Structure 1
Amino acid sequence: LDLRYFDFPYGGKRRYSRRFVEAFGEPRPPGGPVTQRDRDLAASLQACLEETVLHLCRHLARRTGASKLCLAGGVALNSQMNARILASGIFEELFILPAAGDPGTALGAALLAAYHVAGVRRSFPLVTPFLGPAYEKARCRAALSQAGLPFREVADAPAEAARLLAAGKIVGWFQERLEFGPRALGNRSILADPRDPAMKARLNARIKGREPFRPFAPAILAERVSEFFVRPTLSPYMLLVETIRPEKRGLIPAVVHHDGTGRLQTVSRRDNPPFYALISAFANRTGIPLLLNTSFNRKGEPIVCTPEDAIATFRTAGLDALFLGDLCVEREE
């Protein structure tokens, strides 16, 4: 890597040098039109990344004889690259920490110190990605009352949320403990009906403000992944891009990328019972065992953590309903 083309970590948001600009041209202004040159450059960078990483994987496999690969670091959040590694067959198994960026690096440093400094000689398996704080119903009630929002307690939150989603509503889903990492995995999620071809544009216009080419993720019941995806891969942390079966793409247009892929999240009853129950209830209503899942935040903001965060986002964004556990708030028409 020729570091003369980069200005990291001293360049702030602009991490490349003037030499990089001279080689590749001036950057696209924020909000400017995406040209063919922009597309070609992005595709070339992705292709180079994938080929470089595959070369490193082959080298590691030859040197170590290992059959399993564990990845960390921000590059490991590149779900297209991860899918290429898995499809290559270089390793039999691939594990990526859900917080593969800076938080995961900090966790790795702590584990290294525990082993070498404190002498802790045991493994620390990741049982769940839901390692953040949870909030009691009393806190949620108090937050809703303080905000002056009328709410109701529902007997079956997954079933009620599924009813609203099937009716085309955009739902904020706030349950139990916060996810560890940048992906919303069903505890701090904004959910929508994947059958609606206009849903992606609605979400971007009302809430997310993302570039139109960026896809939203399908969260599917783990046991039904083979019905909708060419390769029935388990991807509980939303870190793999997989090809959606051609005959299914018209059923779920809101989560299909331009190349026929989706950034897959598989959901099991064991890993997340409330989210599993919600998708199951939606499947019972619609025949579609998946939902559009995106992080519970607006553009430029972190994922909501507290009930107060969720309420603030509900009030300022275009959500139609909010569930704090089994407490439901619906936006007045």
Structure 2
Amino acid sequence: MSVQHVVFGFGAHSGIDDGPELLRMVQQADRDGLDHFSLSDHPYIGGRLDAYASIGFILGRTRHISGFANVTNLPTRPAPMLARAVTSLSALSGGRIVLGMGAGGLWDRIADMGVPRLSPADAVDAFEEAITLVKKLSGGGPPVTYQGRHYQVNQIEPAPVPAPAVWTGSVGRKSLAATGRVADGWIPGHAADWLSERYRTSRPIIDEAAAAIGRDPHEIRTVFNFPGRITDRPLPATRDHDGRWIGGSTDQWAEELTGAVLEHGASGFTLFSPDGGTQDDVSLGRWAKEIAPAVREAIAKKGADAEGDGA
């Protein structure tokens, strides 16, 4: 199995007063070599920092790390304007932006923002149209006219900047198929991992939809939102009775994630705390400086051994 470049990041949920601490954490993660940070996007919560304003501010204060909304609340951010936002962030940051995309989950709150409520099927149609339109409005070329059911633009000039990678939070069969057709990555919902029933039944839908239109399914990476404790000593069991990952020592994490990459095709991990929030400083440091390098080293060694065997 060929292995994609594996990315490591962390997720944060930040309130208005948490801005300085969030910036400090991302700057440290940038220095420590993490690939990305992510912020949730719930604009109907007044006490939360806006995801895209925060991402833009932080990218301006870092050098290497990428940012993304995990995932973008698409119904509140119309696709043509979202295209302008992400291509501008890409241009300003040297390409350090990922477009996380969701069809919309908390529709009661979304509707409270004055957004027309969509049925689940229509929300997925709008989601696929939005990804298609963002890509059309990126990368230069002639003016774009697009007449979809949910989005219409007329003779709009694309930005001369390539579209960022699009990672989706697809859950249902229809949105998973859309991911296979138009997206570049998938973030399994409900923090499901590679041993879960959700992953085993969902990923084939993406792969089949990709293959049906001539795409290589392996080009669509799987990036897991992955909560857990990073402990000083090994745990007797790293998973609970339901099979969900609990955590463990840095060596236990490294062994688990290396297996996820080599045996299950994982190509990225976004670390959260066990309760789904932001990890503490000590754990984040171990993630960046111990676990991620150990996994990268193990993957590189496996690749070198494979090349040697084939020589």
TM-score (norm 2): 0.24
Q: Report which of the two structures shows the higher radius of gyration computed on alpha carbons.
A: 1
Q: Which of the two has greater helix per residue?
A: 2
